[in-house]
Structure 1
Amino acid sequence: MQRLAALILSLILPLAAHAQDRPNTILVLDGSGSMWGQIDGINKIVIAREVVGTILDDFPGDENLGLTVYGHRTRGDCTDIETMVAPGTGNREAIREAVNGINPRGKTPMTDAVIAAAEALRYTEEEATVILVSDGIETCNPDPCAAARALEQAGIGFTAHVVGFDVTDPDALAQMQCLAEETGGSFTTAANAEELTDALETVAVAPQPEPEPLLVPVTFTALLDDDSLIDTPVLWDVSGEDGAVTEGEAGNPLNLELAEGSYTATAYWTAQEVEQSAQFVALGDGREVTLVFETPAPSARVIGPASATLGDTVEVGWDGPNEDGDYITVSVPGESGYVNYTYTREGNPVALQMPPETGDYELRYIRDDGREVLATASIEITPVEVTLDGPEEAQIGADIPVDWTGPDYDGDYLAVSVPGESGYVNYTYTREGTPLSLQMPPEPGDYELRYILSQDRTVMATRPITVTEVAVTLDAPAEAERGADISVDWQGPDRDGDYLAVSVPGESGYVNYTYTREGNPLSLQMPAEPGDYELRYILNQDRQVLATRPITVTDIALSVSAPAEAVAGDSIPVDWVGPDYQNDYIAVSVPGENGYVNYAYTRTGNPAMLQMPAEPGTYEIRYVLNQDREVAATTTITVTPLKVTLDAAASAPMGATIPVDWAGPDYQNDYLAVSRPDDGGYENYVYTREGNPGQLTMPVAPGEYEIRYVLNQDRQVAARRAITVEPITVQLTHDATAAAGGTLMVGWDGPDYPSDYIGIGRVGEDRYETYRYTRTGNPVQIDLPEEPGEYEVRYFLNQDRTIVARSPLTVE
């Protein structure tokens, strides 16, 4: 009995699940006489009463429920149908009492009872559900199926669920099943206690309302291949196994909730009129679907003339992204690459040089990223007129005038070249004017004049020319002394830069040369080394040798003589025999070494006066030809040490001038110096030419020093003597205070060196505001500063303005 209640609940409770819809339900209960029959010894009506009671206990109190009963009042009456409790929410006890009071006795008009219940529920106006519990065949309405179809067609969501209670008659079962199926309801049977258990279990899992599908949040995003979000409209189509979910919905990103399953998403990028699709599965807590579009090339355009002359530079306007490295080209249609280009960063419009060949070309805007062509414009390259006019013949190396017409583009030039060969022998830029002066080759032969575009070295016009020989002669003596200047008569073209040279036969280059522009005849210096040489006329162009003449260079007598010994630093006479060429000189040098210690030009006379080195040792005296510094003669000489002595006091007061006796060579600009022992310079000095003894002033800083005899040559120290410089005591006496702008008498006790002075200065400043020389007397009278304050009276040694005494003074 409890399971029968559960069965009926399973039919009613799904209706209650839609509480927000408040459905109307009527329980139609069989009250015919057959309900007194028993199942397992219990009357069916008793079971039904208990089942209904259980239903009422569990049925939601806010749901509409009613009760219709048939066959419960009279016997044999097909109209014994009564809605005992109208559908409502506060009637559960009324239904319970009505069911408990049913006394089965009549027929089974179950079909009409269902119709009556449907009408009570106003089934044609709103949803209605009838639950029929019956134990027998229809005994009144001949066609339950037809009635059920009529209810289904007329009703708005009408449903009849049927429970066949202890029904075994096949016709009765067929009627009940038809009544349920025609209205979309369920049909369940229960025949005895065991089958009732199975039936109730079946009813308990009777069809429930489909559960709400599990929804998965899905985010759809359209990106560019650089991961940036597309910021113009994107339309989405999403379809699944059951068809389209959404079509043409805008958004980026777009958020949808989809039931779990497999789908296809298509994104349509409206600005570019392209789409991307992807299959995906909605599953779990969420899903992101990303469709990636290729970044479109930016738009661009180029604007230029429809035609241009070959090689010309034209303006090209452009519109485009102007990314770093973008450029404008002129290119051959259908081919990659370019003939010429200019970067867009150069400005707008840009200057672009046209190709050197005629034909159809195109201007292009090229994006540096990927060398992508963003825009093109056609342009026709037309011919340009070029002419050349010059002589038919010219001598080698000659400069000839060439008249020309042509575009005169930057870097264009006229050239003389070997026919059939690229390149040139000589050239001149057209920017130099017309006619142009063009130098002919240094070799005779057949050549051609050319007008050449700078771009790709394109030859625009040619003209033949024959280059002829030119007469060249040389006349000079057959022999000459080495280093001598000889006279050379010559005949030749005298081109700019041509020269005569004396050279080693078989070798390129020269020993000496003179330009032909210097005159005729020319003076040409012979080599410093004797031997066989040749005179040459050399064309400056390509150093072409046009004529030669042999010449023999002979040796000459050369010698030097001097004393075998000399004192270091002394100047000695050197007799010499030699050519006395310009800038020849006599030198004293270290044997085996180049260069010299001292030298004297031969032009200064014979004998030459030559100063010896300051360092003793063995040396050699040399006659040196100025040409190539050729050593032509030598003799050996020994340089002996100097004998130099110094005599002076062992100590002296600071700043004092003391006598220094000396013995030495007294060479020009030799001097006596007082220096610190580790110092290469000096504190004070006096020239030896000032006399003997020398008067040398001591430093103003006490300490250990040395007196030196210094040779002027190389500042060589020839003698040293130690001396101690001692401090001095200086005293100042004056009033402690004085009036500003007045005078002050200052007594002093000090060295009174020349130009020593007494000064007054502010405390903390080592300069003075007023002063008076000590030579003016003792005491001295000094003007006072105009400004009051704290001052000092100071004794200044003139040497280095050294302060040797201070005394405070207040100026009021």
Structure 2
Amino acid sequence: MKPICTLLLAGLVTLSTNATFAAEQTMIVLDASGSMWGQINGKPKLQIAREALTTVLEGVPVEMELGLMAYGHREGGNCNDIEVIVKPAAGTGAAISQAAAKMKFLGKTPLSASVIKAAETLNYTKNNATVILITDGLENCNADPCAVSAELAKKGINFTAHVVGFDLTDAEGKQVACLAENTGGRYFAATNAEELRDALKSTVAQPQIQKAQPEPLVIPEATIALEQSESENSAQAKTIAIGADFNVIWTGPNTEHDYIDLVPLDYTKTYGELTFTYTKEGSPLRIRAPGKPGIYQVRYIWRGTDNNRHVIAKTNVEITDSEVALVAPDNVQAGGVIAIQWKGPANKGDYIDLVPEGFKRTSGELTYVYTTADTETDVELIAPTKPGVYNLRYILQAADQKRILLSIPITVTEAIATVSAPEKVAAGSVLSVFWTGPAGKNDYVDIVTIDHKRIGGEITYFYTRDSEDGESHPLQVPSKAGEYQVRYVLRGSGADSVLAKQAFTVTEVAASVSVPANVQAGSAIAVEWTGPAGKEDYVDIVPIDHNRIGGELTYFYTRNAESGETQSLKAPAKAGEYQIRYILRGSGQAIVLAKQAFTVAKPEASVSVAATVQAGAMIDVTWTGPAGKDDYIDIVAIDHKRIGGELSYFYTRNAEDGEPQQLKAPVKVGEYQVRYILKGSGQAVVLAKQAFKVTEN
């Protein structure tokens, strides 16, 4: 449901252009709830309402006695924030418009209390009183507007309420329309500023002395039948199981707000139904049965030309109980699987749930499983982790409410588990964890810091279903030295719990890396290293100011070599200061165990071609340079800045330093350049370049 805000215009208008009223005072009740800041087509609803109010007041006779009441304009969340701001008097239209323009929009919507106070201020039990309500929402102060309006109509001399549903859905409008219908008023739907103005204009007329006689109401024909019926006599009850969906076949006028509803037998009101569906959904349409057995009525509700709702067709239906059964073990271990066999209505939305013993509500369950017609009659639920007595229940999802059809007890017994690991292990190493326990579907063994209390946030874990009870399972130890614990976590319905835990210490490990202090860009670097050589450990090269793990220019895994064995990494292409690092990767963490700075120097290189060449001709390129494995010489346009996108190239590894090579000149006349490209780890740079021209043949 949308946020709630309401504008009430009390006694401001008449019913139609030919309607006449006895002279009376008028009270305008303006909703100042916060939801009036909501927008329609980019314009705040409060602004639309103010403008509509001003327009209406400009058309009201000067002699009409008007007053202004507001609620929610002084503080938020207070259902008693209701105040008469302008007392009813003649010629107050301008004062009311000015007060509305200055008003703050803050609070709640005591819709019913405001209508009552407006009526009492107008002395409705002795004088004529009319209320026109413009609302974009519903009562939110624990009151029933339908009951309030019925009581006001009963006590009032001539009390009438009209309602304009401002930006309401059909279903929401239906809930406030009873204010009008119970008092002989009208309901109008307005979804934008123009429709709001039109609704107000259609109800404004000069007040006269005498009330007009209403035109005769012509009731249209309508029929209702149940698709499952075995009898064509609509007065005879048909049998439907509790909570079941059934089809209603209908004929009728199908006006915009017509609907088919379900109510208790002999229910006469046209609001407060158990369920309803609009006729615009077509025939047949679906209705859901209530959750309690008995005789009910299915009715066609017509929105008449008098703008009131009328019952124009109805038929009885008998709602009967359904068979239901639950079969489950008397006892189950905490966190274990509960095997359940069931029988029941299997209506859409029905389910079996598990709750603590004595739990009465039909929400807040620990766990549940749906029992629709498509599900198997054998289902499973996971038991809670806390021992005790619980209830398995079959919940019927009916039209009027959820209903507990059956409840059986089940006892959850305590589960026991153990975990065992060495007292001390090296950082980043693999730890063998021995465990015993219930091995529930979602149970797991984890590693956390020694002061970690909550479930979740583990550094690493394995599911017990992945190994046998009593069997060891590997877990990688954190890379940071310190105190930790290994835990058996039981996962059940509602909450998880730690069944067993053991503390252990992660000890520091050492590593070293060594490279020459100065290397040439793009060259191969001999890396000497020592370290634990964990499965995910690696040695990388990064810029000197690079502090985080990741983003390396190049690396090798230590698992691919023996500790102390020399490995090779390619130097970066860009000259500058760098560092080589040993990275220890443990569970959930990675740290730098060792590092060494080194300098990358720019190597010498040169390229030379003729200053002018013919289009498409073969060009002799003379060059010198480091001739790295991936170095190359290319031709690009004179204004080409980036690496890549070359027109032609050759790898320097395919020729000796200084040995001329040939490249084909571009076919398009223009300015170009030949370049020596050095490719190092994660980088590529231009070491040398020369411009040349391509001319026509």
TM normalised by structure 2 equals 0.60
Q: Which residue of 1 aligns with 2:653?
A: 689
| 2:383 corresponds to 1:440 | yes
Deviation per residue, 1:729-764 (Å, 9 max, x gap): xxxxxxxxxxxxxxxxxxxxxxxxxxxxxxxxxxxx
Picking from 604, 620, 624, the partner of 2:579 is 620
Rounded Cα–Cα distance in structure 2 between residues aligned with 1:473 and 1:564: 53
Give the 3 Å change call, closer, same or farther, for CA 718–426 of structure 1 in structure 2.
same
- Deviation of 1:434 after TM superposition, in Å, equals 2.2
Q: 2:416 maps to what in 1? A: 471
Distance in 2, Cα, partners of 1:366 & 1:546: 60
CA deviations on 1:297-326 (whole Å, 9 max, x unpaired) are 533232235132211222222111123343
Indicate which of 489, 501, 505 corresponds to 2:446: 501
Structure index of larger Rg:
1
1:349 alignment counterpart:
284
Alignment of 1:493-642 (within 5 A): 493-507=438-452, 508=454, 509-519=457-467, 520-541=471-492, 542-590=495-543, 591-594=545-548, 595-605=551-561, 606-627=565-586, 628-642=589-603
> 5+ unaligned residues in a row in structure 2: which ranges?
1-14, 19-211, 230-236
Separation in 2, partners of 1:297, 1:525? 80
Q: 1:228-307, aligned counterparts within 5 Å?
A: 293=215, 296-304=218-226, 305=229, 306=237, 307=239
Contact 1:513 1:525 survives alignment (8 Å): no
Q: Would you say the 8 A contact 1:672–1:696 is kept in 2? A: no
Residue number in structure 2 paired with 1:320: 252
- Give the Cα separation in 2 of the matches to 1:716 and 1:697: 23
Corresponding position of 1:5: none
**Aligned equivalents of 2:481 and 2:526: distance in 1?**
29
The offset of 1:601, in angstroms, is: 2.0
Q: Assess, with a 3 A threshold, how the Cα gap between structure 1 residues 596 and 462 changes in structure 2: closer, same or farther.
A: same
Could you tell me which amino acid in structure 2 is paired with residue 708 of structure 1? Answer: R
Contact 1:225 1:294 in 2 (8 A): no
Structure 2 Cα separation of the partners of residues 447 and 320 of structure 1 = 51
- 5 Å-filtered alignment, 1:348-367, equals 348-367=283-302
1:451 and 2:407 correspond: no
| Matches of 2:513 and 2:290, distance apart in 1 | 76
Distance of 1:226 and 1:437 partners within structure 2: 67
2-structure distance, mates of 1:654, 1:536: 75
Q: Equivalent residue for 1:138? A: none
Task: Give, in whole Å, the separation in 1 of the partners of 2:555 and 2:308.
Answer: 74
Structure 1 unpaired stretches of 5+: 1-223, 228-289, 729-812
Give distance in 2, aligned partners of 1:326 and 1:514: 59
Question: Any idea what SS the aligned residue of 1:631 has?
Answer: strand
State the partner residue of 2:686. Answer: 717
Residue 556 (structure 1) shift: 0.5
Q: Which of 646, 669, 672 in structure 1 is aligned with 2:633?
A: 672
Cα distance in structure 2, aligned partners of 1:476 and 1:511: 16
- Whole-Å Cα distance in 1 between the matches of residues 532 and 274 of structure 2? 69
Q: In proportion to residue count, which structure has more helix?
A: 1
Instruction: Give the distance between the partners of 1:574 and 1:689, measured in 2 at CA.
Output: 23
Deviation at 1:226, TM superposition (A): 10
Name the structure 2 match of 1:150: none
Q: In 2 relative to 1, CA 302–667 (structure 1 residues): closer, same or farther, beyond 3 Å?
A: same
C-alpha spacing 1:646/1:499, structure 2 compared with 1 (3 Å): same
For 2:380, what is the secondary structure of its paired residue? strand
Residues 227-258 of structure 1, C-alpha deviations (whole Å, 9 max, x = no match): 9xxxxxxxxxxxxxxxxxxxxxxxxxxxxxxx
Structure 2 residue corresponding to 1:338, chosen from 263, 268, 273 = 273
Q: Does 1:378 align with 2:347?
A: no
Deviation at 1:571, TM superposition (A): 2.0
User: TM-score with structure 1 length normalisation?
Assistant: 0.52
- Residues in 2 aligned to 1:317 and 1:557: alpha-carbon distance in whole angstroms: 82
User: Which sits farther off after the overlay, 344-353 or 508-517?
Assistant: 344-353
Q: Is the 8 A contact 2:510 2:593 kept in 1?
A: no
Instruction: Give the Cα–Cα distance (whole angstroms) in 2 for the partners of residues 415 and 440 of structure 1.
Output: 11
* Distance verdict in 2 for CA 1:632–1:454, change over 3 Å: farther
Q: Which amino acid aligns with 1:308?
A: I
Q: Match of 1:345, SS?
A: helix
Query: How far off is 1:672 after superposition?
Result: 0.8
Query: Contact conserved, 1:619 with 1:636, CA < 8 A, in 2?
Result: yes
Letter in 2 for 1:711: L
How far apart in 2 are the matches of 1:327 and 1:506?
Answer: 62
Aligned residue identity for 1:694: Q
Question: Counterpart of 1:91?
Answer: none
Instruction: With a CA cutoff of 8 Å and minimum separation of 6, indicate the structure with the bigger relative contact order.
Output: 2
Deviations 1:737-796 (A, max 9, x none): xxxxxxxxxxxxxxxxxxxxxxxxxxxxxxxxxxxxxxxxxxxxxxxxxxxxxxxxxxxx
CA distance in 2, matches of 1:370, 1:593: 75
User: Could you give the per-residue CA deviations for residues 77-134 of structure 1, whole angstroms, max 9, x where no partner exists?
Assistant: xxxxxxxxxxxxxxxxxxxxxxxxxxxxxxxxxxxxxxxxxxxxxxxxxxxxxxxxxx
Q: What are the Cα deviations for residues 402-442 of structure 1, in whole angstroms up to 9, with x where unaligned?
A: 22221111221211111232332122222432232222111
Letter in 2 for 1:355: P
1:334–1:558 CA distance, 2 compared to 1 (3 A) = farther
Q: Which runs of 4+ in 1 moved over 6 A?
A: 224-227
Question: Quick check: 1:394 aligned with 2:332?
Answer: yes
Q: Distance in 2 between matches of 1:688 and 1:537?
A: 60
Q: For the Cα contact (< 8 Å) 1:502–1:536, is it kept in 2?
A: yes
Secondary structure at 2:280 match in 1: helix
Q: Is 1:326–1:365's contact at 8 Å kept on the other side of the alignment?
A: yes
- SS of residue matched to 1:708: strand
Partner Cα distance (2:17, 2:242) in 1: 42
Measure how far apart 1:608 and its partner are: 2.4
User: Which residue type is aligned with residue 278 of structure 2?
Assistant: Y
How far apart are 1:371 and its partner, in Å? Answer: 4.8
Residue 709 of structure 1 deviates from its aligned partner by 0.4
1:462 aligns with 407
Q: How far 1:448 moved relative to its partner?
A: 0.8
Secondary structure in 1 aligned to 2:478? Answer: coil
Q: For 1:691-719, what per-residue CA distance to the aligned partner results, in whole angstroms no more than 9, with x for missing partners?
A: 13221111111222111001234342111
Offset at 1:295?
Answer: 5.5
Contact residue 658 and residue 696 of structure 1 kept, 8 A: yes
Q: Once the two structures are aligned, what percentage of the paired residues are identical? A: 37
Number of aligned residue pairs: 443
Q: How far, CA to CA, are the matches of 2:218 and 2:419 in structure 1? A: 80
Per-residue CA deviations over 1:461-498 (Å, capped at 9, x if unaligned) read 01111100122111111111111111111111111122
Q: Which residue matches 1:429?
A: 370
Is the contact made by 1:328 and 1:341 (CA closer than 8 Å) also made in structure 2?
Answer: yes
The residue type paired with residue 429 of structure 1 is Y
Distance 1:633-1:543 versus aligned 2 partners, 3 A rule:
farther
Distance 1:435 1:647, change over 3 A: closer
Paired residues of 2:261 and 2:299 also in contact (CA < 8 A): yes
Mapped partners of 1:511, 1:700: distance in 2: 61
Taking the aligned partners of 1:694 and 1:543, their CA distance within structure 2 comes to: 72
Give 3-state SS (helix, strand or coil) of 1:415's partner.
strand
What CA distance in whole angstroms lies between the structure 2 residues aligned with 1:330 and 1:483?
68
Code of the aligned partner of 2:388: G
